Amino acid sequence: METVLSEREKELLEVIRDCTVESVGIEREEIKLDSSFYDDLGVRSLDLEDIFFRLEEKLGVKTPSMPEVREFLLGGIPEDDFFDDDGLLTPRGLEHLQELLLYRDLQEIKDKIGEFTLPSAFTVRQLMGLIADQRHEE
């Protein structure tokens, strides 16, 4: 399914690409709308924080912190309902992530996502949405 982006969304995507390339040095073409920062792009927590800092500098908006990314991914579901005793996704957690990741085949990544690897579900599209929300609030 191809997503049609507005001019503003295209511009934001390009700024995210710029900041990601500057931070981690990957090829610009690798950064797609539904790329997971962790799994697809190889970005780690400190790299993502650097990307957020660069975005704040370029866009003049507050970007999410890592705890805010986690809260976003949890979607208000208590961690005890999101993960089982072994730290794996519960059916409720899996269902919620499927709603967040409409454009991804969750079956391909569900075994990689657990209590400590939840940020691996965070995508470029989601970051764009969080920044757009922040811009709208300001």
Whether 81 is covered by a domain: the verdict is: yes
What per-residue confidence (pLDDT) applies to 30? 95
Q: Grade residue 133 by pLDDT with cuts at 50, 70 and 90.
A: confident
Whether 97 is covered by a domain: the verdict is: yes
What per-residue confidence (pLDDT) applies to 84? 93
Half-sphere exposure of 116 (CA within 13 A, CB side): 3
Q: Grade residue 12 by pLDDT with cuts at 50, 70 and 90.
A: very high
As for how many domains the chain has, the answer is 1
Judge whether residue 29 has pLDDT over 80: yes
Range of the domain at 48: 7-137
Residue 28 phi, psi dihedral angles, 5° rounding: -55, -40
- pTM of the entire structure? 0.84
> What average pLDDT is seen over the chain?
88
Tell me which of 57 and 97 has the higher pLDDT. 57
Judge whether residue 11 has pLDDT over 70: yes
Whether 2 is covered by a domain: the verdict is: no
Whether 62 is covered by a domain: the verdict is: yes
Other beta carbons within 10 Å of 129: 15
In whole angstroms, give the CA distance from residue 110 to residue 97: 9
Judge whether residue 138 has pLDDT over 60: no
Whether 106 is covered by a domain: the verdict is: yes
Whether 124 is covered by a domain: the verdict is: yes
- 48, with CB counted inside 10 A (0-12, 13-18, 19+), is buried
Which residues make Cβ contacts (< 8 Å) with residue 108, sequence separation at least 6? none
What per-residue confidence (pLDDT) applies to 45? 85
Q: What is the CATH number of the domain that holds 79?
A: 1.10.1200.10
- CA dist 91 to 22, 33, 39, 104, 114, Å? 38, 26, 22, 17, 12
Whether 1 is covered by a domain: the verdict is: no
Whether 102 is covered by a domain: the verdict is: yes
Tell me the per-residue pLDDT of 70-115, one tens digit each, with 9 for 90 and over: 999 999 999 999 999 999 889 999 889 888 877 666 676 677 788 8
What per-residue confidence (pLDDT) applies to 26? 94
